Structure 1
């Protein structure tokens, strides 16, 4: 902090920095205002305010992750992937905390809740603006939402500021969209040197034949042979749905899949070659995204259980169908990264994974990072010692005039520079 900044404002203490007067003074118990204070209303308010504060933090982190994916150069600086992982991991930890937080609320009995429920009027958790924005920014599709009392969820909000915030969360690229675009640029999906998709299909067919067709053909028992042939055909049909672009697109149109065909190829390649250095962090990103989806589902499930325990099948405080409505949200319709969950259906054993060419092996052993040059221009370099050494070597050669062929390091640098793929 600059010296002038220290003297341009009043110094903070703990109370003023956290604005605790505002935070701790915002628990207005309606039962108390009505002259009939109910002890557990205070817990009810505190718990829901805590939820909203954590929603705000998750939105803050997800916005930052979306921003890192949406770099102006349309490239993902690979030096930022650890930052992405850390912030997504934080979101998962917050969701775990929020899921466990229901246990505290459940220390209040249904009879205790009934004592102050009338003071809630039409207030309902369905009216949580931040939670709706969170769903949108993660990438929940509008058409996948269950209607609220047969009405669009936006009907719960009427003020211009809330409507504008909702519209912005819908129109901006969601986390799903930026991840999809990132996966579509996975190096090695299609190349003259290593065509992953072609090699993968060959290997998958070989595995299906070895594990399903050949045992079926060798079976002497007619019933067993028929059962095995049926299983073989199921595997063929399953893999055909990912092999053929047209069939994949039909499933996308039907809502059974979400990623584009090319993004699905990228996710599959990362999953199969996760042990390659360049795919370590991308695979971790995909794993954390499924964790977020799973925890969102768990949060909904715990919420449903709590609501059923508190009010049973009664109509909710906001006039919603309460338990029945909430239960309907616990489905694959509400999973944003459903394709990542189902990716395991298309994995093949390690022995069948197509071996990488030497060129592709080198490409997946070096990270590409976008950095700022001294003059402020964007330059591509390779992360770590190799990139630094290559840069220094270029300077030395410019001064000495040595030919690259006479320099072992120069030859290595040329090999790095010749790598045409960049995971961006």
Structure 2
């Protein structure tokens, strides 16, 4: 029978500390210092004594961090497309797709919260709601789903309101893609490029025709063709996230009114009809 101990008298189910591993952080930056973990991990303050409220808080706080990163990446993608750096734009757009997939998975964790358990602390939330998420609003504006009325929700925070207003009035990721089409000689109506960017984007025939030219000669316009498919990837992932959000809310509260005052599930369902890049889906019918 084999001996359960090594020759150094240590158990076999044991990993020794290596001698070069740093352990003294009195005057050195640690992992926790770099990530500011003391602040992050002490930011959970349940308002009830219910066990499941911690799950609710952590899921939403983690989601806000992912949304912050997605906004950071979309800003970079816009800069890249404006400067013609399509290669890096493709990289960060692909990253946004994965972030959205990660966010979608988080709804599965939240769905372990049963209706009975949620109702035990729901009243403690007051009128706070995910609809008030600054990170979510920023992503929608960056992708082109503009709505001036939504700024009202953020008026109580001047810095947030100012940043969102700035994004609202600037070209979105899709607007920059259309500017790139025009720069490549594709026939985009000038009215599309000169429009009020604070208004919701409306599908345009010249844009559809231009994208059809790209898809019908993908070798010639390969970087634009690849850009279009990357954008479709984002919308695909975003819609999956929207659907999973709606379904999770329906599973937990049914058709109750949302804490923020919306109609709840019915309001969330309406978002599924909104497309960031309508011509990129319409063109598939015409190929």
CA distance in 2, matches of 1:118, 1:125: 15
Post-superposition Cα deviations, 1:248-284, rounded to whole Å, max 9, x if no partner, equal 9xxxxxx9952561x434322221122x2x5333222
- Aligned pairs, number: 251
CA distance in 2, matches of 1:184, 1:141: 22
State the superposition RMSD in angstroms.
2.2
8 Å Cα contact 1:185/1:266 also seen in 2: no
2:237 is matched with 295
Distance 1:257 1:124, change over 3 A: closer
Distance 1:141 1:259, change over 3 A: farther
2:100 is matched with 95
- After TM superposition, give the deviation of residue 18 of structure 1 in Å: 0.6
Instruction: Find the partner of 1:62 among 43, 55, 74.
Output: 74
- In terms of fraction of residues, the more helix-rich structure is 1
- Structure 1 length-normalised TM: 0.56
8 Å Cα contact 1:176/1:337 also seen in 2: yes
2:203 is matched with 258
Distance 1:294 1:90, change over 3 A: same
Q: Does 1:47 align with 2:44?
A: no
Q: Does 1:343 align with 2:283?
A: yes
Q: Does 1:169 align with 2:181?
A: no
8 Å Cα contact 2:71/2:139 also seen in 1: yes
Q: Radius of gyration: which is bigger? A: 1
CA distance in 2, matches of 1:318, 1:81: 40
Matches within 5 A, 1:1-400: 11-31=28-48, 37-71=49-83, 76=84, 80-142=85-147, 152-159=149-156, 160-187=158-185, 189=186, 258-259=203-204, 261=206, 263-274=207-218, 276=219, 279-331=221-273, 334-347=274-287
- Structure 2 length-normalised TM: 0.81
Distance 1:328 1:265, change over 3 A: closer
8 Å Cα contact 1:186/1:266 also seen in 2: no
8 Å Cα contact 2:257/2:263 also seen in 1: yes
CA distance in 1, matches of 2:101, 2:166: 27
